[in-house]
C-alpha cells in the first residue's frame, strides 16, 4: 500500500486515525495518575510518553486537543502540579485499556477499572499499585503546538520506583525483565523482548559493515 497526502486526507476519520496512530511503531504504554482539587483520583492510559533530558531529568507526554472534551488528566496536572507515570504489565492490560473511556470527572478510573491507588513517601499524586515501574513527576512546563491544538506536558522526575531485577550490566535497564507492555495504534498491545545490546557508539569503534 502506498498513500500520498491526498489519499491520506480522503481516508475516513476512523481509518486515518488508526493508520496514523500506528505508523510510528510500538510506543510505551503508560498510566498517568492524578488527583483533582476535590480529591477525586484519575488514571488514564497514554502512548506518547517521551524522554526529554537527563539533567534535569525530564519526561514529556502529548496532550490531545482539549476542545469541548473534558481532559481530566490535564486539568489535574495544571491544578495540582504533580502526577505519576506507571508502566503497564500484561496482568492488567485490559483494565488499563478501559481507562481511556470518557468517564465523568466525578468518576475515579481507579475504582471503575479496578486499579489500586498507592501513595508513596508523601508524594502528592497517586501511583498505580499494580505497576512495578513507577515515576513521580512535578509539572514544569506546557508547550502548546498550534498546528493541531495539542500540548507537550513536561515534568521533572522527583520519585522513581524501579524493580531491582531490571538493572543489567552498566546500569542499563532491561524492559523485558520489567515485563513492560507497548502499544501501537489505539488498541493493540505488545510484549517487549530484548534482542541486542551494543556499546556506546563511537566513530573510531564503528565496525566495517
Q: Does a structural domain hold residue 3?
A: no
Q: Does a structural domain hold residue 123?
A: yes
Q: For residue 112, what pLDDT is reported?
A: 97
Q: What is the count of structural domains for the chain?
A: 1
When pLDDT is averaged across residues 111-139 and rounded to a whole number, the result is 96
Q: For residue 69, what pLDDT is reported?
A: 57
CATH code, 112: 2.30.110.10
Q: For residue 167, what pLDDT is reported?
A: 81
Q: Does a structural domain hold residue 141?
A: yes
Q: Does a structural domain hold residue 1?
A: no
**pLDDT above 90 coverage of the chain, percent:** 70
Q: What is the mean pLDDT of the chain?
A: 92
Q: For residue 114, what pLDDT is reported?
A: 97
Residue 70 has pLDDT above 80, yes or no: no
Q: Does a structural domain hold residue 103?
A: yes
Higher pLDDT, 3 or 128: 128
Instruction: Return the beta strands (E) in the chain as ranges.
Output: 27-28, 30-35, 41-46, 50-54, 57-63, 82-87, 117-118, 127-128, 134-145, 150-161, 181-184, 188-191
Q: Does a structural domain hold residue 4?
A: no
What domain range includes position 136? 28-194
Q: Does a structural domain hold residue 77?
A: yes
Whole-prediction pTM value? 0.91
pLDDT, one tens digit per residue, over 141-192 is 999 999 989 999 999 999 999 988 888 777 788 888 889 999 998 889 999 8
Q: For residue 23, what pLDDT is reported?
A: 87
Task: Please tell me the distance from the alpha carbon of residue 58 to that of residue 6, in angstroms, as a whole number.
Answer: 37
Q: Does a structural domain hold residue 2?
A: no
pLDDT, one tens digit per residue, over 10-59 is 999 888 988 988 888 899 999 999 999 999 999 999 999 999 999 999 99
Amino acid at each position: 500500500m502506498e498513500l500520498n497526502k491526498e489519499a491520506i486526507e480522503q481516508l475516513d476519520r476512523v481509518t486515518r486515525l488508526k493508520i496514523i496512530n500506528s505508523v510510528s511503531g510500538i510506543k510505551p504504554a503508560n498510566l498517568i495518575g492524578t488527583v483533582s482539587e476535590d480529591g477525586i483520583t484519575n488514571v488514564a492510559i497514554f502512548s506518547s510518553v517521551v524522554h526529554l533530558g537527563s539533567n534535569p531529568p525530564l519526561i514529556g507526554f502529548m496532550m490531545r486537543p482539549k476542545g469541548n472534551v473534558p481532559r481530566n488528566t490535564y486539568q489535574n496536572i495544571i491544578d495540582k502540579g504533580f502526577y505519576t507515570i506507571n508502566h503497564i504489565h500484561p496482568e492488567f492490560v485490559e483494565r488499563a485499556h478501559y481507562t481511556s473511556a470518557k468517564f465523568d470527572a466525578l468518576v475515579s478510573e481507579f475504582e471503575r477499572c479496578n486499579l489500586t491507588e498507592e501513595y508513596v513517601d508523601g508524594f502528592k499524586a497517586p501511583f498505580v499499585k499494580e505497576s512495578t515501574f513507577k515515576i513521580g513527576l512535578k509539572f514544569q512546563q506546557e508547550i502548546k503546538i498550534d498546528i493541531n491544538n495539542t500540548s507537550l506536558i513536561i515534568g521533572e522526575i522527583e520519585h522513581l520506583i524501579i524493580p531491582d531485577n531490571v538493572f543489567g550490566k552498566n546500569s542499563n535497564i532491561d524492559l523485558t525483565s520489567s515485563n513492560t507492555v507497548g502499544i501501537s495504534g489505539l488498541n493493540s498491545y505488545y510484549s517487549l523482548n530484548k534482542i541486542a545490546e551494543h556499546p556506546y557508539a563511537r566513530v573510531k569503534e564503528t565496525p566495517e559493515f
